[in-house]
Amino acid sequence: MTRLIEGREHEVCPTDSFVLWRDPKVAAAVVVESEGGIVLGRRAIEPGRGLWCLPGGFVNDDEDPATAAARECMEEIGARVELTRLLGTYHVAKTTASSIIGIAYVGRLGAGETISAGPEMLEVGMFTPDALPPIAFPSHREVLERYVDERARFASPSSRESAPSQPWRSQ
């Protein structure tokens, strides 16, 4: 049974009027800088098996997004990562599941850390922004584009006067 609530149709239990709110999942991803490159992992699981991605994943219900981002780095690239800044947020619309609100960070490998593939990765590697391999997810491509754009903008002398970037959308 559905009912119109706040201008939208929602599923409602006919017995007790419980409303099923379809809230988005929250995910975090990290652009990990190291030795002039970006750390990526080649996925061992679907979706995107065999393609490359940023370290990241879903935020657990009892977890701060930054903590989740650091945990996902440890799980996926086998290294402690220090988050250095927030890159931005994004939305991944879904039709067959809850949409995703993504939070992207920039980070660097912790002192003395080396990378190694976790169980969800076939391998890990470092790539320069101008020589990236095939990326699994449109949202990760957008995060990487934003990262490259911001690096270029902040590298120019006039960038000190620039306004902060705006959130972006992803499909």
Q: What is the pLDDT of residues 24-50, one digit of tens each?
A: 999 999 999 998 899 999 999 999 999
Banded model confidence at residue 163, pLDDT cuts 50, 70, 90: very low
* Residue with tokens 């699981």, as numbered in its chain: 45
The tokens describing 98, both together, are 């809850």
* Residue with tokens 């006039």, as numbered in its chain: 158
All domains in the chain, ordered by first residue? 23-156 (3.90.79.10)
Give pLDDT, residue 166.
Answer: 45
Of 15-29, 67-81, 94-108, the range with the highest mean pLDDT is 67-81
Banded model confidence at residue 144, pLDDT cuts 50, 70, 90: very high
Give pLDDT, residue 97.
Answer: 83
Distance of alpha carbon 44 from alpha carbon 51, whole angstroms: 9
Q: Is the pLDDT of residue 160 over 70?
A: no
Pair type for strands 25-34 and 100-109 = parallel
What is the reported pTM? 0.84
Task: Tally the C-alpha atoms within 13 A of residue 127's C-alpha that lie toward its C-beta.
Answer: 19
**Rounded to 5 degrees, what are φ and ψ at 120?**
-90, 0
Which of 168, 158, 29 is closest to 102 using CA atoms? 29
Give the long-range contacts of residues 82-85, CB within 8 A, separation 24 or more: 82/107, 82/108, 82/109, 82/110, 83/30, 83/107, 84/33, 84/108
Q: What is the pLDDT of residues 81-110, one digit of tens each?
A: 999 999 999 999 988 888 999 999 999 999
Q: Is the pLDDT of residue 124 over 60?
A: yes
